[in-house]
Amino acid sequence: MKNNIVYKYIGKVLIGFAILFIFPIIVSVIYHEDFIPFVIPQIISLFLGLGLNSIELKEEEKIFAREGFSIVTISWILISLIGALPLWLNHDASFVDSLFEIVSGFTTTGATIFKDVEILNKSILFWRSFSHFIGGMGVLAFVMTVIPLSKNDKSMHVLKAEMPGPTVAKLVPSMKKSLIYLYGIYIGLSFTEFILLLIGRLPVFDSLLITFGTAGTGGFSVLNSSIASYSLFAKYVVALFMFLFGVNFNIYFLMLIGDLKTALKSEELKVYGALFIGAVTIVVLNTISIFGNLFTTFTEAIFHVSSIMTSTGYSIGDINIYPTTSRVVMMSLMLVSACAGSTCGGFKISRLILCYKSIRREIRRLVHPNSVQVITFEGKKVSEETLKNTNIFLLLYALLIILIAFIVSFDGFDFETTTNAVFTTFANVGLCFNISNFADFSIISKLVLSLGMLFGRLEVFPLISLITDLKKK
Amino acid sequence: MKIVIVGIGKLGEHLARLLVKENNDVTLIDKNFEGKEAIINNEDVNYVEGNALDSLTLTEAGIAESDLLISVMKDDAQNLMCSLLGKNLGAKHTIARVRNPEYTNSINIIKDTLGLSMAINPELLAASQIAQTLSIPSALDATSFLKGKVDVVSLKVKEDSKLKNTTISHLAKKIGDSVIICAIERESEVIIPSGNTKIEIGDIIHVTGTRKDINNFLKYTGSIADKTKRVIIAGGSRTSIYLTRMLLDMGMSVTIIENDEERCKEISEKIPKALLIKADVSDQNVLYEEGIKYCDAFVSLTNIDEENIVYSMFASIVGVPKIITKINHIELDGVMQKASIDTSIAPHKIAANHVVQYVRAMEHSGASSCEAVYSFGDDIFEMIEFKVKEDFKGINKRLMDLNFRENVIIGAIQRGKNIIYPSGKDEIKLNDTIVIVSKSNLIRELNDVVR
C-alpha cells in the first residue's frame, strides 16, 4: 500500500479499539476474575495504534474509494486478531477457535465454537457479547463517532465501505452528527430493551448481554439454552427488539423528527413487514401439528422467524424439529435478512426489491422492446450504477456461498448441515439447523467460515477489492 | 373593465378577442408587435410596445387605473414578476400563467405572497378536460358544472341512433326529465331547442344531467361504449404527464410513446406506473406492437398540431374507438371534421374561457353574480352559472310565466343540495344557482334572460 493515510487511519482505529478493553476489565474486576488477558491486547492495540498514527504523511493525501475499502478491511482483520487474544490467553480455546468466536462476535453472527458457554468467565462472556454491540453499528463508525478526526479523515468512503446496504445516506449534512444520531437511536433502543428485560426479572448481567446480542443482531447468549429458560415476557421482549433492530435506522430518525408519514411510506419497511407476517403464517401452519397448542406454535414462530430474519440467531427451543417447509422458508429468510441501514447481515431487503424491480423491467422489455423505465426506490430514482452494482453483488454473493460450501464440504457433514453452516455464517445469523455449535468443524473450515463472516458483514466488495489490489503487486 | 394583457402569443391573442367581444377596454403589451398586426388592426384594442417588466411600460399602458392585469408571456417567472409589479403599480387584480409543474406544486404560496388573483395552467386544464372526456367514452366532450354535480356531455347523432328524427318533447315523454338536451349543433350553427325541435343525423347534441342519469340516457340511445381501460398517449409533453397521473388514478393503464430517451426517463421517474416507449409515433410497427388495435383511447399530445392530426387519423383508420387530438394553433374550419377527428382540445382556448369566466364573475359581483362560464362549439354558445340574488326579476315565478328571450333555456337549477331539471312549472328561488344555456354573448347578467 502506497498510501500512508491508510496506515495512519488504521492507527487511529486501533487507539479507539484499545479504549474498548476498559469495559471487560471493569467486569473482570467486579467478578474478581483475571484481567490480564484483556490488558495485554489493550496494550498491543494501543502501541500498534500509536505507532501507526505517528507516520508522517508525505503530502496532501486523501481517502478515495480504494483507500476506504483498504482501511475498513484491514482494520476489521486486525481487530479480529487482537480481539481473539483474551479468549486464547484465558486458555478457553485454541487461537483459531478464539478467532472464529470473536469474528462471529464482531460480525454479529453469533455462531459459537463453545459446547458449553456456562463454564466461561463472566468477563469473557461479556467480551463476546460486547463485540456484538460494537460490531453492530460498525467498528469504524464507532471510532469515527468517538475519536476526533481531521477534516480529511471524515470520509464518506470509509463509512460507505462499512455501512451495509446498496446506498448510504447521511441523516443530516454533517457526518459526525449523523453518526451521533444513529448511535443515539441505537443506544436508546438498547436501553429500552435492557430496562424491559430487567422488568422481566432477568439478572442484570443476563439482561445486559442479551441486549448487546439483540442490538447488534448477534446472538451470543449467556446460557447454553439461549433464551429458552427465560420467562415468556422476556421472550416476547427479545422477539420484538430483534424485529425492531432489523428496521432501517433512518426510519427511526424520521419518526424522531416527527415525519411519521414518510417513515411509514417506506417501501422497504412494508416489504419487511409483509415478509415477516408471511413467513410467520407459513411456519405456524406448518408446525401447528408438532406443537399442538396454537399459542406455543405462535410464540415459537414469531421468535424464530424474527431471530433468523434479522440475522440475530437466538432460539427458544429446538429448531431441528421443524419440518422441511419451515426450514426452506427460514433458510431463504437467512439469506435475505432485514432492512439496509440496520444492524442485520444478509443480502438486505432493499437489494431484494431492487433486484425484483430490475427483473420486472427486463421482462417488460421483452414484451415492449422500446420501453424506457427508470427504477425508483422509496420515491427516488435509482441510478443504473447502483442497479448494476446490486446485481453483481447478488452474483458474487451466490458464488462465494458456493465456494465456501465447497471447501467446508471436505469436513464430511451431510448436505443440509454444510449448506446451512455456510448460510448462517455468511449471512451473519448464527442459528443453524442440525448444528448447535461449530466445535466439530476442521481448522480450515473454521478459518474459511470466519472469512465468510467478514465477507458477509462487509458486504463482499471491500474484501474483494483488497484482494485484487494485493494481487496486482 | 380596464384590462391589460401582457404577452401576445396564442393565449394572449385569443384572450384579447374574447375580452373585447365582452366590451372590455383592452390594452396589449408586448416587446414587439411585428407579425401581430392582425390583432391590433382587427380588434378594438390599444397597445404599448415595450418590456412589461419595466414599470414605465406598465404605467404607459394605464396600469394604475386598470382592473385586471393578465400576464401570459412565455416565461413563468416573468409572468409572476410582472404580476407583482402590476399589483404594486395599482392593478386591482392580477392573473398569471404558470405552466412549470414545480411552480404549480407551490402555487398557493406563490399566490398568497404575490397577491395573485388567479394562476392559470393551460396544460393542466386541458389534461383534466381530456380525463373527463375519457371517463365518458361515448361522449365527444364532457364538462362538469355546479362544482362537479352536473355534467354536460356532447354526442354525435349517428345513423343508427334511436334519437334521429325525434322531437325533444317526444323524447322527454320517453326518458322523463332526468336529462335536458340543452343545445344542438347543426352545421356550425347552434339551436337552443324547444319542444318541437327535431333531432337529425349528424347533429351534435349537448346533454346536461348527473353522471348517472347521463349514463342511463346513453344506454337508452344505444351509444354507450365500454369503459376506457387502455390509453395510448402520443408524445411526452407536460399535458401528457398531468393526464397520465389523472388516468392512472382513474384505474386506466397508460402507454406514452415519446421519441426522446431523456424525456422518457424523466417521465418514468415521475410516474413509475406509466409504460414509457421510446419510439417515433410515426412508425406504425411500434404502434401495432404497443397494441393500438386493442386500446380504448388514443390521445395525440405532441407539440406539433400537424403531427397530432396525422397520428389521430391513423388511429381512426385502425379503429380506435375514442380519439382525442390536441390542436394548438390550427384554426381551419371543417378540417377536423374532414379528417374524422371528433374531439379536439385547444389548451389556450380552455385557459381563455377560464379567464373570461373569472372576468365576468368580477364584473357582476354584487348583482346576481355569474359564477362560471363555459363556451362550446367554437364559442357559438355558452353555459353560465348564476347565483340568484334579490335583484332578479323572476324570483318566485313559474318559468312558464316568464317571458324568456329567444335562444335561452335553463339547463339546471341547484337548490341546496338538490339538482332540478326544470319544466315550465318550476320556480326560481332566492339563492338558487342556475345554469343558463344561450347563444354566445346574449347574457351579461341574470336579468338578461327575460325580455
Q: How far apart are CA A333 and CA A15, in angstroms?
A: 37
Write out chain B residues lying below 8 Å of A373, CB-based.
268, 272, 275-276
For the stretch A179-238, pLDDT in tens is 888 888 999 999 999 999 999 888 999 999 999 999 988 888 888 888 888 888 999 999
* DSSP secondary structure code for residue A382 in this structure: P
Return the closest-CA partner of residue A130 out of A24, A242, A226.
A24
pLDDT of residue B277: 92
Look at residue A163 and give its three-state secondary structure: coil
Write out chain A residues lying below 8 Å of B269, CB-based.
374, 376, 381
Q: How far apart are CA B303 and CA B103, in angstroms?
A: 21
Higher pLDDT, A409 or B405: A409
Is residue B321 within 8 Å of B136, Cβ to Cβ?
no
A with B: how many residue pairs have Cβ under 8 Å apart? 35
The yes-or-no verdict on residue A251 having pLDDT over 80 is yes
Q: How far apart are CA B326 and CA B240, in angstroms?
A: 11
Burial of B51 (0-12, 13-18, 19+ CB in 10 A): middle
Taking all residues of chain A, what is their mean pLDDT, rounded to a whole number? 86
* Interchain proximity B278–A370, CB inside 8 Å: yes
The yes-or-no verdict on residue A340 having pLDDT over 90 is no
* Interchain proximity A374–B261, CB inside 8 Å: no
pLDDT of residue A82: 92
Helices (H), B152-283: 168-175, 211-221, 238-249, 261-270
* Interchain proximity B268–A368, CB inside 8 Å: no
Instruction: Compute the half-sphere exposure of residue A427: CA atoms within 13 Å on the CB side of its CA.
Output: 32
Q: How far apart are the first and last CA of chain A?
A: 9
For the stretch B44-53, pLDDT in tens is 888 888 898 8
Q: Which of residues 66-125 of A touch B (CB under 8 A)?
A: none
Higher pLDDT, B439 or A165: B439
Mean pLDDT for the stretch of residues A360-383: 87
Confidence of residue A56 (pLDDT cuts 50, 70, 90): confident
For residue B353, give the C-alpha cell.
374561457
Query: Measured between CB atoms, does B264 come within 8 Å of chain A?
Result: yes
Query: Measured between CB atoms, does B1 come within 8 Å of chain A?
Result: no
Residue B253 contacts by C-beta under 8 Å, 6 or more apart in sequence?
Answer: B229, B230, B231, B275
Residue type for position A174: S
Write out chain A residues lying below 8 Å of B279, CB-based.
370
Mean pLDDT for the stretch of residues A413-439: 86
pLDDT of residue B223: 64
Return the closest-CA partner of residue A243 out of A344, A130, A340.
A344
How many angstroms separate the CA of residue B265 from the nearest CA in chain A? 6
Phi first, then psi, for residue B39 (nearest 5°) are -65, -35
How many angstroms separate the CA of residue A247 from the nearest CA in chain B? 25
* Interchain proximity A376–B272, CB inside 8 Å: yes
Q: Map grid coordinates 495512519 to a residue.
A: A8
Return the closest-CA partner of residue B171 out of B189, B196, B153, B192.
B196
CB atoms within 10 A of CB A57: 12
Q: In which element (H, E) is residue B186 found?
A: strand B180-186
Q: Map grid coordinates 447481515 to a residue.
A: A345
Return the closest-CA partner of residue A287 out of A271, A308, A302, A309.
A302
For residue B278, give the C-alpha cell.
421510446
What is the torsional sign of CA A286, A291, A295, A299?
A: negative
Phi first, then psi, for residue B368 (nearest 5°) are -55, 110
Q: How far apart are CA A88 and CA A19, in angstroms?
A: 20
> Closest-CA residue in chain A for B265?
A374
Strands (DSSP E) contained in B398-440 are: 408-415, 418-420, 433-439
The yes-or-no verdict on residue A273 having pLDDT over 90 is yes
pTM above 0.80, yes or no: no
Return the closest-CA partner of residue B412 out of B390, B432, B389.
B432
Query: Measured between CB atoms, does B271 come within 8 Å of chain A?
Result: no
Is residue B449 within 8 Å of B384, Cβ to Cβ?
no
Higher pLDDT, A450 or B38: A450
| Residue A164 CA: distances (Å) to CA of A431, A462, B350 | 21, 11, 53
pLDDT of residue A271: 93
* Interchain proximity A371–B275, CB inside 8 Å: yes
Write out chain A residues lying below 8 Å of B289, CB-based.
368-370
ipTM of the complex: 0.70
The yes-or-no verdict on residue A282 having pLDDT over 90 is yes
Write out chain B residues lying below 8 Å of A370, CB-based.
277-279, 286, 289
How many angstroms separate the CA of residue A265 from the nearest CA in chain B? 16
Query: Measured between CB atoms, does B275 come within 8 Å of chain A?
Result: yes
How many angstroms separate the CA of residue B172 from the nearest CA in chain A? 50
CB atoms within 10 A of CB B132: 19
Q: How far apart are CA B25 and CA B46, in angstroms?
A: 8
Write out chain A residues lying below 8 Å of B290, CB-based.
368
How many angstroms separate the CA of residue B279 from the nearest CA in chain A? 6
How many angstroms separate the CA of residue B319 from the nearest CA in chain A? 22
Confidence of residue A155 (pLDDT cuts 50, 70, 90): low
Return the closest-CA partner of residue B344 out of B335, B336, B356.
B336
Range A184-190 contact pairs with CB under 8 angstroms and sequence separation of 24 or more = A185/A249, A185/A252, A185/A253, A185/A256, A186/A136, A186/A137, A186/A215, A186/A249, A186/A343, A189/A215, A189/A241, A189/A244, A189/A245, A189/A252, A190/A133, A190/A214, A190/A215
Higher pLDDT, A153 or A443: A443
* DSSP secondary structure code for residue B271 in this structure: -
pLDDT of residue A48: 92
Q: Map grid coordinates 479523515 to a residue.
A: A153
Confidence of residue A153 (pLDDT cuts 50, 70, 90): low
Is residue B95 within 8 Å of B66, Cβ to Cβ?
no
Write out chain A residues lying below 8 Å of B264, CB-based.
372
A253-275 in b/e burial notation, b at 16+ Cβ within 10 A? bbeeeeeeeebeebebbebbeeb
Look at residue A380 and give its three-state secondary structure: strand
Look at residue A392 and give its three-state secondary structure: helix
The yes-or-no verdict on residue A278 having pLDDT over 90 is yes
* Interchain proximity A368–B265, CB inside 8 Å: no
Q: How far apart are CA B209 and CA A118, in angstroms?
A: 82
A7 φ/ψ sector (left φ>0, alpha ψ -120 to 50, else beta): alpha
How many angstroms separate the CA of residue B94 from the nearest CA in chain A? 36
How many angstroms separate the CA of residue B287 from the nearest CA in chain A? 11
Write out chain B residues lying below 8 Å of A372, CB-based.
261, 264-265, 268, 276-278
Is residue B69 within 8 Å of B83, Cβ to Cβ?
yes
Return the closest-CA partner of residue B399 out of B430, B419, B426.
B426
Write out chain B residues lying below 8 Å of A375, CB-based.
272
For residue B433, give the C-alpha cell.
344557482
The yes-or-no verdict on residue A1 having pLDDT over 60 is no
Report angle CA A156, A159, A164 to the nearest 5 degrees. 130
Confidence of residue A152 (pLDDT cuts 50, 70, 90): low
Q: How far apart are CA A335 and CA A351, in angstroms?
A: 12
* Interchain proximity B268–A373, CB inside 8 Å: yes
Q: Over its length of 451 residues, how does chain B's per-residue pLDDT go in tens digits?
A: 899 999 988 889 889 988 888 888 999 999 888 878 888 888 888 888 889 888 899 888 888 899 999 999 999 999 999 999 999 998 888 999 998 888 877 888 888 888 888 888 999 889 988 888 888 777 777 777 777 778 888 888 877 777 777 887 777 777 777 778 888 888 777 888 877 788 888 888 888 887 778 877 877 776 666 678 899 999 998 899 999 999 998 889 999 999 999 999 999 988 888 999 999 988 888 889 888 888 889 999 998 888 998 999 999 888 888 889 998 877 776 677 676 677 888 888 888 888 887 887 777 655 556 677 777 766 677 888 888 877 777 788 887 787 778 778 888 888 887 888 777 778 888 888 888 888 777 777 777 777 7
* Interchain proximity B264–A372, CB inside 8 Å: yes
Mean pLDDT for the stretch of residues A427-435: 84
Write out chain A residues lying below 8 Å of B230, CB-based.
none
* Interchain proximity B290–A372, CB inside 8 Å: no
Helix H, strand E, coil C: the string for B110-157 is HHHHHCCCEEECHHHHHHHHHHHHHHCCCCCEEEEEHHHCEEEEEEEC
Is residue A172 within 8 Å of A353, Cβ to Cβ?
no
What is the torsional sign of CA A303, A308, A311, A316?
A: positive
Confidence of residue A244 (pLDDT cuts 50, 70, 90): very high
For residue B31, give the C-alpha cell.
416587446
Report angle CA A187, A148, A67 to the nearest 5 degrees. 95
SS3 percent helix, strand, coil of chain A, rounded to 5, is 70, 0, 30
Write out chain A residues lying below 8 Å of B286, CB-based.
370
Mutation site for B-interface testing, chosen from A353, A371, A380, A387 by largest number of B Cβ within 10 Å = A371
Q: In which element (H, E) is residue A190 found?
A: helix A175-199
Q: Which of residues 352-381 of A touch B (CB under 8 A)?
A: 364, 368-376, 381
* Interchain proximity A371–B276, CB inside 8 Å: yes
For residue B385, give the C-alpha cell.
352559472
Return the closest-CA partner of residue A113 out of A95, A96, A101.
A101
How many angstroms separate the CA of residue B239 from the nearest CA in chain A? 19
Q: How far apart are CA A397 and CA B337, in angstroms?
A: 63
Report angle CA A348, A351, A355 to the nearest 5 degrees. 140
Higher pLDDT, A61 or A211: A211
How many angstroms separate the CA of residue B285 from the nearest CA in chain A? 11
Bridge partners for B278 per DSSP: B258
Q: Measured in whole angstroms, how far is the alpha carbon of residue B207 from the centre of its chain?
A: 16
Instruction: Compute the half-sphere exposure of residue B222: CA atoms within 13 Å on the CB side of its CA.
Output: 8
Confidence of residue A341 (pLDDT cuts 50, 70, 90): confident
CB atoms within 10 A of CB A402: 11
